[in-house]
Chains A and B, each alone.
Chain A
């Protein structure tokens, strides 16, 4: 077995583009669920709108990169508003049902053949990154980074993605430690109590929904920008549940949780895949072939998620004291 390769791949995942994209979406979900108590099972839809907003604005309207980014963020923000107006007055579980349904509906709309001119139908869209990659100040070429080598664009998208993660984390850090964040936590605990103290609970929930959605929107854009392909199948429920796994792994009401949770999750995923592939190649797992390994590891992810929720519900960074009372 090639241990060096395994470690290289694992390390590559720690700073991977997809990792950064998922972490951004998980930070948004931390705002929704961890801090405000909103059960959003449609985070994939917010990310999809960011990705489609960007790629459609670029390909169909030939907007510059910054306008396309605003289009993506705007699409997610408006989606949050539309989703929130009818559901945020209802009990939390209704939001869960509506978000999961809305996310599925949106994905089908994007893959519908009727709008192929704009959305690319089930094939999706590609080659929309030119105006973004033109910003890349790194000279063309391949760079040796010790464990791997990357092109100038691969480095650039990683810098942008993780830069956004760091900026977003600081933004949330200040936000959640402010009186505004305190009201959100109050709503998570008991919204009627907060209402009785004179806070406009609906407005706060709406702000949280939109802000968390905007984080997912950035995540979606980073996700599709690395390969410059945006396919509707990406934005299924498994995208949402990966984000939930990352959030619960790291700790729902924390900022560092989603970041370290995301890195751990993808590193573990790559590590187990690499090891299992090695074992299959050596003939130690005769009941598996290489193609099945990819699926088996998701089975393991499900198992890990279950064990996590049962034995360590506060995640890696959650405050154990907070959880003692939920017994």
Chain B
């Protein structure tokens, strides 16, 4: 399986057969702290890639950088061959790279269906000049609404259609955010901890939805702490620790990698933090 995805040896930063997203030398510093320092990273197209790592590994920061929500100190990255460095977040989204947030951002005082409609990107009525000419956007609105209803049904939110998003439970908001992200038929969906706070009954259906995405040809990149889920649905796993990519590969192999065990069990669990050097983690490899 690894050979179908990667070219050559499977190692951190290895080349992929068909990458959709390629990032090089992406660094982000917060004061003296280097939150992200990724030398090279490629995300395979049409696959489900998991991004794992301990808290503070820089996963969410990397998400923010790649989607234009934060500016890196150095680095460049391309999405489908188009340069994305310095492109603002809404343009990134329009190119077909849609993200969700770790702290769910449901638009509380909009109804569920309006949340969904907002996810669509080519509604001419969203332009000021055409907004008060109802005939200019009525037809498109009907198409959008039909699509939204279809997605709501798939995510079992159709009963909540007219409710305010604020009235949904935490798990339902996660579902809504994911469904909303799918309104524009993105090429790459980036899910930041889609399972956090979702009850086990919903987890199963969320997993199914993510697998469905893959079968529809959408590339998925997700951050997750739940190893069971990672093992269950991902085709490829990238492990980050201390801002760097420390390992990647197919899930079964990555889980055995000492660097990963280090990162998760905590290489420095018994070390005085004052004396830690980044090199010491590498010695374990």
A positions within 8 Å CB-CB of B = 171, 174-175, 178-183, 185-186, 188-190, 192-201, 207, 321-322, 325
CB of B109 within 8 A of CB of A198, answer no
CB of B127 within 8 A of CB of A197, answer no
CB of B117 within 8 A of CB of A179, answer yes
**B146 to A: closest C-beta gap in Å:** 15
Chain A residue contacts of B134, Cβ below 8 A: 174, 178
CB of A197 within 8 A of CB of B118, answer yes
A186 to B177, CA, bound (A): 13
Q: With a 10 A CB-CB cut-off, give which of A180, A207, A322 has the most chain B CB atoms.
A: A180
Chain A residue contacts of B164, Cβ below 8 A: 321-322, 325
A180 to B133, CA, bound (A): 11
A189 to B100, CA, bound (A): 16
CB of B109 within 8 A of CB of A189, answer yes
Which range holds the interface residue count of chain B?
35 or more
**B67 to A: closest C-beta gap in Å:** 7
- Can you list 26 A-B pairs with a CB-CB distance of less than 8 A? A174-B134, A178-B132, A178-B137, A179-B137, A179-B141, A181-B131, A182-B117, A183-B118, A185-B109, A186-B110, A192-B101, A193-B105, A193-B106, A196-B90, A196-B93, A196-B98, A196-B101, A196-B181, A197-B93, A197-B119, A197-B121, A198-B98, A198-B121, A199-B90, A200-B90, A207-B128
CB of B107 within 8 A of CB of A193, answer yes
Chain B residue contacts of A192, Cβ below 8 A: 69, 101, 105
Q: Is B126 an interface residue (CB 8 A)?
A: yes
Chain A residue contacts of B117, Cβ below 8 A: 179, 182
**A183 to B: closest C-beta gap in Å:** 5
Q: Is B170 an interface residue (CB 8 A)?
A: no
Q: Is B166 an interface residue (CB 8 A)?
A: yes
**B257 to A: closest C-beta gap in Å:** 32
**A210 to B: closest C-beta gap in Å:** 10
A36 to B70, CA, bound (A): 23
Chain A residue contacts of B167, Cβ below 8 A: 325
| Given contacts A196-B93, A197-B93, A175 and B109 within 8 Å (CB-CB) | no
Chain B residue contacts of A193, Cβ below 8 A: 101, 105-107, 177
Chain B residue contacts of A199, Cβ below 8 A: 90, 118, 126
CB of B105 within 8 A of CB of A182, answer no
Other A-B pairs beyond A196-B105, A199-B126, 9, CB < 8 Å: A174-B131, A175-B131, A179-B125, A180-B131, A182-B118, A192-B105, A193-B177, A195-B69, A198-B90
CB of B108 within 8 A of CB of A198, answer no
CB of A194 within 8 A of CB of B99, answer no
Chain A residue contacts of B110, Cβ below 8 A: 182, 185-186, 189
CB of A197 within 8 A of CB of B123, answer no
CB of A190 within 8 A of CB of B105, answer yes
CB of B93 within 8 A of CB of A190, answer no
CB of B93 within 8 A of CB of A195, answer yes
A11 to B4, CA, bound (A): 81
Chain B residue contacts of A321, Cβ below 8 A: 164
**A187 to B: closest C-beta gap in Å:** 9
CB of A180 within 8 A of CB of B118, answer no
Closest residue on chain A to residue B141 by CB atoms: A179
A181 to B128, CA, bound (A): 9
CB of B107 within 8 A of CB of A185, answer yes
Chain B residue contacts of A207, Cβ below 8 A: 128
CB of A186 within 8 A of CB of B128, answer no
CB of B128 within 8 A of CB of A196, answer no
CB of A186 within 8 A of CB of B118, answer yes
Complex partner residue of A197 from B91, B98, B106, B131, CB under 8 angstroms: B98
**B225 to A: closest C-beta gap in Å:** 22
Chain A residue contacts of B184, Cβ below 8 A: 197-198
CB of A196 within 8 A of CB of B67, answer yes
Q: B58-87 interface mask toward A, CB cutoff 8 Å, 1 = contact, 0 = none?
A: 000000000101000000000000000000
**B151 to A: closest C-beta gap in Å:** 14
Q: Is B114 an interface residue (CB 8 A)?
A: yes
A321 to B110, CA, bound (A): 11
Closest residue on chain A to residue B144 by CB atoms: A179
Chain B residue contacts of A322, Cβ below 8 A: 109, 164
Closest residue on chain A to residue B136 by CB atoms: A178
| Given contacts A181-B131, A325-B167, A189 and B121 within 8 Å (CB-CB) | no
Q: Is B94 an interface residue (CB 8 A)?
A: yes
Q: Is B203 an interface residue (CB 8 A)?
A: no
Closest residue on chain A to residue B104 by CB atoms: A193
Chain B residue contacts of A196, Cβ below 8 A: 67, 69, 89-90, 93, 98-101, 105, 181
Q: With a 10 A CB-CB cut-off, give which of A171, A195, A199 has the most chain B CB atoms.
A: A195
Complex partner residue of B131 from A178, A185, A189, CB under 8 angstroms: A178
A171 to B69, CA, bound (A): 34
A68 to B107, CA, bound (A): 42
CB of A189 within 8 A of CB of B123, answer no
Q: Is B180 an interface residue (CB 8 A)?
A: yes
Chain A residue contacts of B183, Cβ below 8 A: 197
Chain A residue contacts of B108, Cβ below 8 A: 189-190, 325
CB of B109 within 8 A of CB of A178, answer no
Chain B residue contacts of A175, Cβ below 8 A: 131-132
CB of A189 within 8 A of CB of B107, answer yes
A131 to B101, CA, bound (A): 57
Q: With a 10 A CB-CB cut-off, give which of B89, B94, B114 has the most chain A CB atoms.
A: B89
Closest residue on chain A to residue B123 by CB atoms: A179
CB of A171 within 8 A of CB of B132, answer yes
